[in-house]
Structure formats: C-alpha cells, structure tokens
Amino acid sequence: MAFESLAGRLQETMKKIRGKGKVSEADVKQMAREVRLALLEADVNFKVVKSFVSRIQERAVGQEVLKSLTPGQQVIKVVQEELANLMGGDQTKLNFALKPPTVILFVGLQGAGKTTSAAKLANFIRKANNKKPMMIAADVYRPAAIKQLQTLGGQLNIPVFTLGDKVSPVEIVRQGIEQAKAEHNDLILIDTAGRLHVDDVLMDELEQIKAVSHPDEIFLVVDAMTGQDAVNVASSFNDRLDLTGVIMTKLDGDTRGGAALSIRSVTGTPIKFVGMGEKMDAIEPFHPDRMASRILGMGDVLSLIEKAQATVDEEKAREMERKLRSVSFTLDDFLDQIGQVRKMGPLDDLLAMMPGANKFKGMKNMQIDEKKIDQVEAIIRSMTPMEKNDPDIINSSRRKRIALGSGTSIADVNRLLKQFKDMKKMMKQFMGKTKGKKRNNPFN
Ligand code: GDP
C-alpha cells in the first residue's frame, strides 16, 4: 500500500493522543517530536518537516484546541489539515482549453512512466470528461517508445500519431496537432523523450515543443520511489518549462511518501494525478485532503464511493439487493460479487480507504491474501450450474471432483461450502429480524 510505513508511524503517534481527556503542552511537544521523526524517516525534505512541525505545534497548543471537549481529536484534525495543506490543500483541477483542442505535454526522466501515464490519462479523461483524445509519439530516442504508445493506443482504441523516429520531435508535434484538428480530436496528449539525467539539449528541445504546441498543461511525470531526487528533478524542469502539474507514478510501491509530501512545498507545483499500478485504469486524481486522511488511518470514503460508482454495475447491485432480501442468492451471485469488488482494485488499497480499518485487531499487519480469493473463485467455477444453484446436492464424490478441478483440496471445498451456508443462515436471521422494521433496514 502507498505510504504504508509512514502511515503506520503516524497512526501510532495519533493513537496515543486520540483518547486523551486532557492534552498538555508537553503531550503536544512529544507528539510533534514523533511526527518530525516519522517524516524525516519517510524522506520528506528537512526544511519542509521543520516548518510543518512548527505549524502543527503552534496550532495544537492554541487555546481552542487544548481547552476543547475532545482535545485529542482536535489535535489530530490539525495534523490532518496541515498534511493536506502540505500536499496542496484542495484538489487542483485540469485546465481545459477554452478553444479546443486541449493540449497536454508529458515531460520527465526516462523510466518515470510518461508513456504509460499519457495513455492512462487519455483513457481517464475520455471517460470522465467525454473527450476524443489523440496521442502524439514524440519520443524518438528511446527505441521502443513509439511502439509502446501504439500498443497502448491499440488496447484502448485511442489513435496515435507518429512519423517514425527519423523526423524531429518538434516537427512531429506540429504535424500531429494539425492532424488532430483535422480529425476533430479535442484532446491531444504528447509523449516526449526523457533522459537519464536532466540535460540542456533535452530542455532546449522541450522548450521548442512547448513553443509549437501551446500546451494547456505541462505535466512532469516523476517516480515516487526516487524520493528526494524526484523533488530535485521537479525543480529543474520547473525552472525551464513552468510546469502546471505533477503526475506522481508508482505510488503503489512507495511506502515512505517523501516525494509526494515534499514536492508541492519545494517547487510550488501541485500533484494532479497519481499512478497506482501498471494497469491502464491505475490512475487517480490526487486529492490532498483525502490522502492526508488515508495516511492518518481516517479512511477515504469518498474515493471508495467514486471507485464503486465507476466500476460497479448498478443494475447488478439492485438485483443483488433483491436476492439478499429474499435470501435466494446462489454461489454464482457470490462469484459475481467477488468479481465486482475486485474490479475496484487491489483489496489492500480498498481496505486502506475504510475509516478505522487499522483499528481492527491484527489488521495493520494483515496482508489480504488474494490467492485465497483466487481459490474461492476457482472452486465455484469448477461447480456445475446445478451445484451452484443448490449446494446441498454436493456430496463427497462431487466434492472430490470439484477439488480436483480447481486445484484445491477437499478441505478447501468444505470450508467454502460451510462459509456460504453460514452466510445464508445469518442473512435469513437478519432479514427475519428486520422484517417490518423498514427504517432499520440497512438495504434501504
Ligand atoms: P517512460 O520512459 O517515462 O515513458 O516510462 P514508461 O511509461 O515506459 O514506464 C516505465 C515502467 O514503469 C513501465 O514498466 C511501467 O509499466 C511502469 N509504471 C508506470 N507507472 C506506474 C505506476 O503507477 N505503478 C507501477 N507499479 N508501475 C508503473
């Protein structure tokens, strides 16, 4: 999970202060010390840490906090707000051109994730804002970059403009924009070349591309895992190109969060999107306030709801509700539900969005075992339609066949059948209790 180690440290600290009936200045000092250490360990820029800690200390010892009825919670609120401010406060929206097409330029070092992010974002904006994107392959130096963009474009059904690798990137961009206009594409995403280090030749070329393309957004793509280096890279690119935003990739593997927490303060450039995986749908708009809540274990219900809305089929959800009410859902429905939830992303990430998930016993160190869920899917898939509809007919020879077919053991099959039976029994009791008490019915 993103920011796991930082989140763990900060949540320990917050736990100590949360339930306190009275909070003294000494308590606040102790908390501030621990927050400082946690941030430094997470590789947050030391100047950023210094001013952050003095701000929370100043606000937390303020009269209205320590004298309030719930001082512990008020202190945590201060930390949450300041963390959100550190990452940019409110979410920053995309700039769309008043007169289309909107042009987005992707710049950054090699391997940061430019090509991947250009395709992910083209797909994201097409869906979210109903645009007709075209991508321009202007990375003529990395041998496979053009092919890679074409492959991603093919998968997503988004056109890619290329003139091969023998024409100058500036010319490719100029002609690409002409073509996009002619074909009424109202969103253009330009993938440019990166280098291993920032160098002048690269910057000159990017300045020329900027001059011919008049971008509405210039996104620096940086790899979160490079920590403070990412911040230095951002400063150099910003000096030459006046960035409008940062796309921070590989947050899924970044347990520390140093770059994400420092980049806005040091460069003044907001993070607009974050990459959370290699798949094409693993990109999210960045909401500093929600991320701050996630880091402090306060959950992020809004993002969870948005994910559900984007992926869960409403018709199916209604049908499921009906089946649950009548306790007539089958193993097939169960399989369907697993599929719907899995579409939303890795279960670990979903769990991190649930408020208080960290408070459950053992949850903090629990890795959700996706393999176990694969197993459940395999077992159900190995059943015949009749068995799925009426698991009571599954006798011992059927159990043996199902275990063999799904590559599991008879004990695994037995466990699943028992769980399913218990679940149905529980639903029956629950529905019995809530019958007639409409107001208390959680499915309303
Ligand atoms: P470019 O050289 O900047 O164009 O980088 P690429 O787009 O080719 O990406 C480099 C590698 O990083 C590829 O293997 C991508 O799949 C991977 N990558 C990009 N974004 C993410 C992300 O958000 N999470 C993870 N885990 N991998 C990513």
CATH number at residue 215: 3.40.50.300
Whether 275 lines ligand 1, by a CB cut-off of 6 Å, is yes
Does the pLDDT value for residue 427 go beyond 80?
A: no
- The span from the CA of 140 to the CA of 143, in Å, is 7
Question: Ligand 1: which of 109, 190, 249 to mutate, judged by most atoms within 8 Å of the beta carbon?
Answer: 249
On whether both 25 and 165 belong to a single domain, the answer is: no
Q: What phi and psi values does residue 247 have, to the nearest 5 degrees?
A: -110, 115
> Between the ranges 172-181, 345-354, 376-385, where is the mean pLDDT highest?
172-181
Looking at residue 357, its pLDDT comes to: 56
| The token pair that represents 237 in the structure block | 């690119």
Q: Which residues are annotated as a binding site for GTP?
A: 108-115, 191-195, 249-252
> What is the reported pTM?
0.74
pLDDT in tens, 224-234: 999 888 999 99
- What are the phi and psi torsion angles at 255 (to 5°)? -85, -15
Percent of the chain beyond pLDDT 90? 50
Examine the domain organization and report whether 287 and 309 are in the same domain: no
96 inside domain: no
287 and 310, same domain (yes or no): no
Sheet strands (E) in 23-132: 102-107
Cis peptide leading into residue 288 (ω within 30°): no
- Which of 245, 264, 292 delimits the end of a domain? 292
Q: H/E/C letters for each residue in 287-329?
A: CHHHHHHHHCCCCCHHHHHHHHHHHCCHHHHHHHHHHHHCCCC
From the CA atom positions of the chain, what is the Rg in Å? 26
Of residues 348 and 376, more confidence is placed in 376
Arithmetic mean of pLDDT over the chain: 85
Residue 46 has pLDDT above 50, yes or no: yes
Q: 276 and 219: one domain?
A: yes
Write out the two tokens for 184: 């009424």
Of the residues 148, 233, 278, 283, which should be mutated to test ligand 1's pocket, given the most ligand atoms within 8 Å of the CB?
Answer: 278
Atom of ligand 1 nearest to the CA of 108: 3
Q: pLDDT class for 361, splitting at 50, 70, 90?
A: very low
Q: Residue 436 has what pLDDT?
A: 46
Yes or no: say if 227 and 258 are a contact pair by the CB < 8 Å rule: yes
User: Tokens at residue 117, please?
Assistant: 């992010």
Structure tokens at 309: 């809305």
* 319 and 283 inside one domain: no
| d(CA 275, ligand 1 centre) in Å | 9
Residues, the chain: 444
Domain holding 177, by residue range, is 102-292
Instruction: Output the pLDDT for position 440.
Output: 40
Q: Average pLDDT for residues 143-171, to the nearest whole number?
A: 95
Instruction: Retrieve residue 429's tokens.
Output: 């009791």
Per-residue pLDDT tens digits for 234-285: 999 999 999 999 999 999 888 888 898 999 998 999 999 999 999 999 999 9
In this structure, how many other beta carbons lie within 10 angstroms of the beta carbon of residue 27? 19
pLDDT surpasses 50 at 407: yes
- CATH code of the domain in which 57 resides: 1.20.120.140
| Arithmetic mean of pLDDT, 399-405 | 93
pLDDT for 430 equals 65
Backbone angles phi and psi of 100, in degrees to 5: -60, 160
Band (145; pLDDT cuts 50, 70, 90): very high
Three-class DSSP category at 357 = helix
Both 117 and 262 in a single domain?
Answer: yes
Q: How far apart are CA 414 and CA 230, in angstroms?
A: 51
Final residue before a domain boundary, out of 259, 292, 325 = 292
The per-residue pLDDT for 171 is: 97
Q: Please state, in angstroms and rounded to a whole number, the distance separating the CA atoms of residues 229 and 294.
A: 24
151 lines ligand 1 (CB under 6 A): no
Query: Do residues 333 and 321 make contact, with C-beta atoms less than 8 angstroms apart?
Result: no
The least confident of 85-94, 215-224, 306-315, 351-360 is 351-360
User: pLDDT (tens digit, 9 = 90+) per residue, 333-360?
Assistant: 878 777 777 777 776 666 666 665 555 4
pLDDT band at 195 (very low <50, low <70, confident <90, very high): confident
Q: Do 65 and 131 reside in the same domain of the chain?
A: no
Q: Is 68 part of any domain? A: yes
For residue 275, list its beta bridge partners.
283
**What is d(CA 136, CA 151) in angstroms, rounded to the nearest whole number?**
13
Domain boundary among 270, 292, 314: 292
Predicted confidence at residue 263, as pLDDT, reads 93
Q: How far is the CA of 112 from the centre of ligand 1 (A)?
A: 6
Domain of 416, CATH number, reads 1.10.260.30
Residues 6+ apart with CB under 8 A from 30: none
110 lines ligand 1 (CB under 6 A): yes
